[in-house]
Structure 1
Amino acid sequence: MATTRIRARMTARPIDEEHRTSSPLELLFDLTFVVAVAAVTAEFAHSIADGHVEVLSFLQVFFSIWWAWMNFTWFASSYDTDDLPYRLLTMVQMAGVLVLAAGVPSAAASGDYRTVLIGYLIMRAGLVLQWLRAAYENPAGRSTALKYAAGITAAQIGWLLALTFADLALPWFVLLVVVELSVPRWAERGPQTTWHPHHIAERYGLFVIILLGESVLAASRGVEAAADHLSASFLLVAGAGLVLLFALWWLYFLHPSGEGLSERRQHSYRWGYGHFFLFAALAALGGGLEVAVEETTHAPQSVGYAVALPVAVFLSMLWLVHAPIVNPPVTPLIFVLISVAVVLVLPLVLSTVGVVVGCAAVVVLLVGAVLSRPDRRQA
């Protein structure tokens, strides 16, 4: 029986470590993000239903969720010791996620980001302590770890100042996002962290499953709200929404990300950062489906776009993030362009029911086209 180690030296894990998979602690960590994603998806659905889609607020909050999750994921791929200090600091970050989730309604309703920022700072503080421990116990990667700790700390000071003196105005938010995104590029100049490509690919895949699960949950909220006026259209849009989510899941996992990252590690930034838009599209799709199911017969054209646009972004970003690491691409570019064009036209010519059914049909056909290619059949 496995037991928790009280203390283990934090050294870099091998890049080619066999049987490297997500740990039970990482899976628990992901579960706390289910709460945060559910909160931001629910608020986004409310804004769609009210007729004033809060895309900017949605992206701002979702960035804090995604960036904290991603930073922990890449750190854990290199330095997961699974001992007592590591577990406790990871649990501190989990607590920060829950605080952030509690602040989502206030951020969406009145632009009050204080609670969201407090939760974000708690998550980032836990990660800074992890990097400082890595710097102390792993001399080979000390300079890189100290750069991460210093860069993250500086960014958090910037967030506090921006909220205190500028109420987190958009220009300051954009500037600090650039700073946050620049920290890994700066820190990795020199000794680089030994992240495991297959482990990273699995972790991203698990987050995709979380987001798809949130979309199912969002759609089920729509079903619950509309349960008193069932109709053929209602059943059609609910069933088509489920088929759409199944097809998006299938399409994502057709891409061999682990092998691609192993062979082309230099493209990891484009792959990892590009997933922000892919993940955000899946979260936004959940909000769109919730409203589409709930307001099947009276939904305005904007609800159709709330479904079609996320699908189009997902298909586009799926190709863009994998093109540098998977050669030849799993999905030919012409297939993607045709699919995106059709999806974006659907809200102009069809009702919300037609848009959901049409999007599901397009993605199912795209999956079928990929699976029917000779190289895929041989695989």
Structure 2
Amino acid sequence: MPAASTGRRIRIRMSARAIDEPHRVASQLELLFDLTFVVAIAAVTAQFAHDSAEGHGLAGLVPFLQVFFAIWWAWMNFTWFASAYDTDDVVYRLLTMVQMGGVLVLAAGVPAAADHSDYRAVTFGYLIMRIGLVAQWLRAGADDAASRRTALRYAAGITFVQAGWVLRLVVSETGALPPSAQVPFFAALYVLELAVPRWAERTRPTNWHPHHIAERYGLFTIILLGESVLATSRGVEGVLGAAGAGSPLVVIAVSGLVLLFALWWLYFLAPAGDGLSDRRHRSYLWGYGHYGIFAALAALGAGLEVAVEQTGHDIDASPLAICYAVAIPVGVFLMLVWMVNASLLAKPVMRPAVILGCVTVILLLPLAAPQLGVAAVVAAIAASCVLLVILTIAPWTRRLQDGCPKP
């Protein structure tokens, strides 16, 4: 749709966009939509960092993963819908704004969810987001006759599962749901959420654009890396205000930047657009696998913030726990990036032996924290990732020098 004909018209008839549409890139509205998630991710990361610093990292992990699932799933549903049906008319923009408002409500409820297991604001914010998305699917069902059954299945499935989330909140508030059943209930709803797209698209797949989807996921990855930088900066600011800069602070801050840069390098080594185009049937594995990738990056931000904070404050978390708060997210990120890329590429960029060896070293390094200190371990983790980058790109360099194409 030409830019001159969109944004000014109240309503444009929805039709599936072409999967090979040339020069398809993220719209300005999608970029604005992403900014609201910056607030939500910052809130959940800061809360997880607070829990980890107090020595309650394991207890805070479940609320962190639950709230982050709501954030990720709402973003992902909007992204795939927009890839297939973005009309950018007035109605579409207003319904997107509704979803953005839901994200902000959810973000406001993060502290209560983590501190008191009060999920009222989080559930209400999620409900607002889902109402906006259901309205979009109903529009698509009314306008696009060829994909009507798919669109209506999406609308019905999302509504059904959302009713489950509201029911979970009600029975939790009334005490009818015992604490031991909270996580299993969440897991069941989690599975139902993931099942809706597979069920809906059994009738007719949606026309998502592979290169557009790859770009959108890449942009969200950059947002999460930026949140890690922000979390580290918060820790540095707190230490400077209390005790001033010392060598451990400088080492961790520099190592954190190097680590994030190495992870960015590894993620974008293999553009996913062509792989998604050639293997559209692998899109579920690739897309769902990014929940772990994104959650790992958010958790890494919290771990780096705590690692910086301990250089200037006495905190309850042990050096071993702090180092594992950095090492585990890095290991999870590396393994999942390798796995999702292997699902798309005929020849994965990262070699299995190299990636497994690097992850093993990273997960063993925290054991030396009591002797070496947190700063040295974080620096060693960063160095391991830099070495992984070198070992990954070296074969490409040799192939190019020999006149051969990249793998």
Please confirm whether the aligned pair reaches a TM-score higher than 0.5, indicating the same fold: yes
Name 1:138's counterpart in structure 2.
144
Question: Is it true that 1:4 corresponds to 2:7 in the alignment?
Answer: yes
Equivalent pair of 1:346/1:354 in contact (CA under 8 Å): no
Q: Deviations over 1:68-116 (max 9, x none)?
A: 0000000000000000000000000000000000000100111100000
CA–CA distance in structure 1, aligned partners of residues 247 and 75 of structure 2? 40
Equivalent pair of 1:346/1:355 in contact (CA under 8 Å): yes
- RMSD of the alignment, in Å? 1.3
CA–CA distance in structure 1, aligned partners of residues 374 and 206 of structure 2? 47
CA–CA distance in structure 2, aligned partners of residues 40 and 127 of structure 1? 23
Name 2:86's counterpart in structure 1.
80
Question: Is it true that 1:291 corresponds to 2:306 in the alignment?
Answer: yes
Aligned letter for 2:220? Answer: F
CA–CA distance in structure 2, aligned partners of residues 317 and 131 of structure 1? 31
The correspondence for 1:91, drawn from 86, 91, 97, is 97
CA–CA distance in structure 2, aligned partners of residues 264 and 362 of structure 1? 32
CA–CA distance in structure 2, aligned partners of residues 324 and 304 of structure 1? 31
- Residue 166 (structure 1) shift: 3.4
Name 2:194's counterpart in structure 1.
181
Q: Which moved more, 1:50-59 or 1:157-166?
A: 157-166
The correspondence for 1:224, drawn from 219, 237, 243, is 237
Name 2:17's counterpart in structure 1.
13
Q: Deviations over 1:24-81 (max 9, x none)?
A: 0000000000000000000000001000111101000000000000000000000000
- Residue 255 (structure 1) shift: 1.5
Question: Is it true that 1:118 corresponds to 2:124 in the alignment?
Answer: yes
CA–CA distance in structure 1, aligned partners of residues 204 and 332 of structure 2? 35
CA–CA distance in structure 1, aligned partners of residues 299 and 53 of structure 2? 13
Q: Counterpart of 1:318 in 2: which secondary structure?
A: helix
CA–CA distance in structure 2, aligned partners of residues 374 and 21 of structure 1? 28
CA–CA distance in structure 2, aligned partners of residues 178 and 357 of structure 1? 38
CA–CA distance in structure 2, aligned partners of residues 63 and 164 of structure 1? 20
> Which runs of no fewer than 5 residues in structure 1 stay unpaired?
none
Name 2:295's counterpart in structure 1.
280
Name 1:355's counterpart in structure 2.
377
Q: How does 1:259-278 map to 2 (within 5 A)?
A: 259-278=274-293
Equivalent pair of 1:307/1:355 in contact (CA under 8 Å): no
Equivalent pair of 1:237/1:296 in contact (CA under 8 Å): no
Moved over 3 A (4+): 374-379
CA–CA distance in structure 2, aligned partners of residues 188 and 89 of structure 1? 23
The correspondence for 1:340, drawn from 354, 359, 363, is 359
The number of residue pairs the alignment matches comes to 379
Name 1:26's counterpart in structure 2.
30
Name 1:164's counterpart in structure 2.
170
Equivalent pair of 1:215/1:286 in contact (CA under 8 Å): yes
- Residue 296 (structure 1) shift: 2.7
CA–CA distance in structure 2, aligned partners of residues 370 and 313 of structure 1? 18
Name 1:66's counterpart in structure 2.
72
CA–CA distance in structure 1, aligned partners of residues 383 and 319 of structure 2? 21
Q: Deviations over 1:190-249 (max 9, x none)?
A: 211000000000000000000000000000000001113311111011100011001111
Percent identical across equivalent pairs?
Answer: 62
The correspondence for 1:209, drawn from 214, 222, 226, is 222
Name 1:150's counterpart in structure 2.
156
Equivalent pair of 1:256/1:326 in contact (CA under 8 Å): no
CA–CA distance in structure 2, aligned partners of residues 323 and 5 of structure 1? 43
CA–CA distance in structure 2, aligned partners of residues 296 and 356 of structure 1? 13
- Residue 356 (structure 1) shift: 1.1
The correspondence for 2:347, drawn from 305, 328, 334, is 328
- Residue 315 (structure 1) shift: 0.3
Normalized against structure 1, the TM-score is what? 0.98
> Which runs of no fewer than 5 residues in structure 2 stay unpaired?
none
CA–CA distance in structure 2, aligned partners of residues 248 and 238 of structure 1? 16
Name 1:316's counterpart in structure 2.
335
Q: Counterpart of 2:235 in 1: which secondary structure?
A: helix
Equivalent pair of 1:308/1:355 in contact (CA under 8 Å): no
CA–CA distance in structure 2, aligned partners of residues 374 and 226 of structure 1? 42
Name 1:36's counterpart in structure 2.
40
Aligned letter for 1:357? Answer: A
Aligned letter for 1:312? Answer: G
Name 1:244's counterpart in structure 2.
259
